[in-house]
Amino acid sequence: MQATLLSILALALLGTLHAQDSIPVQADFQQDKLTGRWYSIGLASNSNWFKEKRHLMKMCTTIISTTAEGNLEVTSTYPKGDQCVTRNSLYTKTEQPGRFSYTSPRWGSKHNIHVVETNYDEYALVATQISKGTGSSTMVLLYSRTKELSPERLEMFTQFSREQGLADDEILILPQTGEAGSTAM
């Protein structure tokens, strides 16, 4: 019985590691070029919070800067009710350029973040594997330097999200707002 349980846990861990390895990372990633202002254009996720809040989500403004240690400070501003809320996250660099880790102090979830593809001056596609307790979820974000992107970039985001196992009802092109929006990275 114990050996069977250990085998199941080992297979689950191996599956999680394989899923993380299967997410590509931008070749020749240049972290300094990722800094600056971005807008969340698309969000896809199979998490419960996304399903519950999807109808409320709007475009978000995100500022990315590099810390002295080489990590990323990610500051997102989004509307919540009649006010703007700002959330700061510190993405810790890993041994692989373009890959970061983050642990949510509020929820205790662990985030394995991959900058999948970017041309730095137009768009960035970011995929995150999130694990908390025994559950896990996937989140894909499409960032843009402007509030609009070409239909080709939107289709690239949708197609990549599907390749990560997300269904069409788990993929959202976010409605525009003023300077803030409602998503979480």
pLDDT at 182: 40
Q: Which of 62, 158, 164 is nearest to 112 (CA)?
A: 164
C-alpha 116/C-alpha 24 separation (Å) is 5
Model confidence pTM above 0.85: no
Query: Chunked in runs of 10, what are the mean pLDDT values of the chain (185 residues)?
Result: 44 42 88 96 93 87 96 89 85 96 91 97 97 90 96 97 96 77 42
- Residue 184 — φ and ψ, nearest 5°? -130, 140
Which residues are known to be catalytic?
60
pLDDT at 183: 44
- Residue 76 — φ and ψ, nearest 5°? -110, 135
CATH tag for 30-171 (out of 2.40.128.20, 3.40.50.10300, 2.70.70.10, 1.10.1040.50): 2.40.128.20
pLDDT at 21: 56
Ordered by start, the domain boundaries in the chain are: 30-171
Residues 134-157 as b/e (b if ≥16 CB within 10 A, e otherwise) read: eebbbbbbbbbeeeebeeebbebb
pLDDT at 78: 81
C-alpha 20/C-alpha 112 separation (Å) is 8
pLDDT at 133: 82
C-alpha 4/C-alpha 34 separation (Å) is 45
pLDDT at 178: 55
